[in-house]
């Protein structure tokens, strides 16, 4: 089974197609060594807030997030309803015993809609998830005229006070800006090579918009690499789930051409690394190879090599030989780390070895390199 792509200088693809430097996506200094018997740090499955400092105020609505015609209001212009909303949230927190936590806080931002109607947003943070608080707050909102929703994780929330007809639009504006800010932060983390932080921020964004394609892509790429770095190999199910979601029809902020190719190629690799003949892997890798002009050479060679593996597993020998021969000819001119070290012993090519063409490849590209 091909593990070649683990040796390439891979980096997760970031939001808005910002090119990443050729650096490992998981840094050696992401945390201390895991003591024996302790669960390794895993931003794909563990609490994302153990990898990032996160507050609802860090994604609170600002002037830059307002549509045309909407304006931010200074506290003095917000009116008494803004103060009343903050006091209501604090009162519910007191009644449900979350206000005594040092992590609890609430802050109100106010805006004016194009017709002058005031909308008030209360952002709150809790020290711990508290269903009783959220339930009590939602119950109070049903009578007082406000909407409550989580914003990223159960520890953080948004309360929107506005006329009922305006509330859905007001919520949409605030959450869209929150997702945008998280996307920018994830992109920045990835550009710095901080894969763990990028995954955690993307998961928080998915807590607001569960169909956000770029966030699914970052988490899917991270989940795949983390699974393949484990010994024995970890569960590829989360990687497949997120990569498929990044390509789903109707996803929010659909991937551009480059990221679509990367998502399809990595999804094909994930299927391939499950260890079975896979038409799904073959077909996805075909699409990735067809779009190789959109991606860098490292990804392109990796996808072609793995497509050869997929064809070989399915006993599609002509296709496998054609691809493998092309890859070997290319890396003979300009090496790609990993391929020359493994292709001769790759079990994916077991069906190719009895064929005379295999002997010709060995003659052309030499015996296995001596160990360094």
Please state the rounded mean pLDDT for residues 243-259: 96
What local confidence, expressed as pLDDT, does residue 368 receive?
64
Q: Is residue 229 scored above 60 in pLDDT?
A: yes
DSSP 35-74: PTTSPPP-TTTS-GGGTS---GGGG---GGGPPTT-EEE-
Please state the rounded mean pLDDT for residues 33-52: 76
**In this structure, is residue 154 part of a structural domain?**
yes
**In this structure, is residue 40 part of a structural domain?**
no
How many folded domains does the chain comprise?
A: 1
Contacts 24+ apart (CB under 8 A), 148-152: 149/175, 150/207, 151/56, 151/59, 151/123, 151/175, 151/178, 151/207, 151/208, 152/54, 152/56, 152/59, 152/178, 152/182, 152/204, 152/205, 152/207, 152/208
What local confidence, expressed as pLDDT, does residue 41 receive?
85
Q: Are 285 and 310 in contact (CB under 8 A)?
A: yes
What local confidence, expressed as pLDDT, does residue 112 receive?
98
Q: Is residue 141 scored above 50 in pLDDT?
A: yes
| Element holding 118 (H helix, E strand) | strand 118-125
Q: Give the C-alpha separation, 254 to 231, whole Å.
A: 34
**In this structure, is residue 343 part of a structural domain?**
no
What local confidence, expressed as pLDDT, does residue 371 receive?
52
What local confidence, expressed as pLDDT, does residue 32 receive?
37
Q: Which of 174-178, 259-263, 368-372 has the lowest mean pLDDT?
A: 368-372
Q: Which of 19-33, 52-66, 268-282 has the lowest mean pLDDT?
A: 19-33
What local confidence, expressed as pLDDT, does residue 9 receive?
31
Question: What is the band of 38 on the pLDDT scale with cuts at 50, 70, 90?
Answer: low
Q: Are 172 and 132 in contact (CB under 8 A)?
A: no
What local confidence, expressed as pLDDT, does residue 130 receive?
85
Question: What is the band of 103 on the pLDDT scale with cuts at 50, 70, 90?
Answer: confident
Please state the rounded mean pLDDT for residues 135-145: 95
What's the whole-number average pLDDT of the chain?
A: 88
Q: Is residue 17 scored above 50 in pLDDT?
A: no
What local confidence, expressed as pLDDT, does residue 30 receive?
31
Please state the rounded mean pLDDT for residues 156-170: 97
Residue range(s) defining the domain that contains residue 106? 56-178
């Amino acid at each position: 089974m091909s593990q070649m792509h683990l040796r390439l200088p891979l980096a997760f693809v970031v939001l808005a197609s910002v090119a990443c430097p050729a650096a490992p996506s998981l840094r050696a200094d992401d945390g201390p060594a895991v003591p024996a018997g302790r669960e390794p740090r895993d931003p794909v499955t563990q609490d994302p807030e153990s990898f990032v400092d996160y507050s609802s105020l860090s994604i609170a609505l600002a002037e830059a997030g307002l549509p045309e015609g909407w304006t931010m209001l200074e506290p003095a212009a917000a009116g008494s309803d803004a103060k009343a909303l903050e006091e209501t949230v604090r009162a519910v927190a007191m009644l449900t015993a979350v206000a005594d936590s040092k992590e609890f806080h609430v802050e109100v931002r106010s805006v004016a809609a194009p017709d002058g109607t005031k909308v008030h947003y209360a952002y709150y943070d809790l020290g711990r998830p508290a269903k009783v608080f959220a339930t009590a707050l939602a119950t109070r909102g049903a009578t007082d005229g406000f909407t409550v929703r989580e914003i990223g994780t159960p520890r953080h929330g948004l309360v929107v006070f506005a006329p009922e007809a305006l509330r859905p639009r007001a919520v949409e504006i605030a959450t869209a800006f929150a997702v945008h800010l998280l996307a920018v932060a994830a992109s920045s983390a990835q550009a710095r090579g901080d894969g763990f932080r990028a995954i955690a921020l993307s998961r928080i964004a998915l807590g607001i918009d569960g169909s956000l394609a770029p966030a699914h892509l970052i988490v899917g790429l991270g989940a795949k690499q983390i699974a393949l770095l484990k010994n024995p190999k970890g569960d590829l199910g989360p990687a497949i789930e997120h990569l498929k979601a990044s390509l789903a029809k109707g996803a929010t902020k659909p991937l551009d051409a480059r990221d679509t190719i990367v998502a399809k190629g990595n999804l094909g690799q994930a299927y391939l690394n499950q260890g079975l003949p896979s038409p799904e892997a073959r077909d996805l890798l075909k699409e990735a190879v067809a779009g190789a002009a959109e991606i860098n050479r490292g990804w392109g060679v990796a996808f072609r090599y793995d497509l050869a593996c997929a064809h070989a597993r399915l006993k599609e020998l002509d296709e496998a030989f054609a691809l493998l021969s092309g890859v070997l000819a290319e890396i003979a001119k300009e090496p790609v780390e990993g391929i020359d070290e493994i292709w001769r012993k790759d079990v994916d090519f077991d069906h190719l070895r009895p064929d005379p063409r295999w002997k010709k490849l060995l003659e052309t590209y030499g015996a296995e390199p001596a160990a360094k």
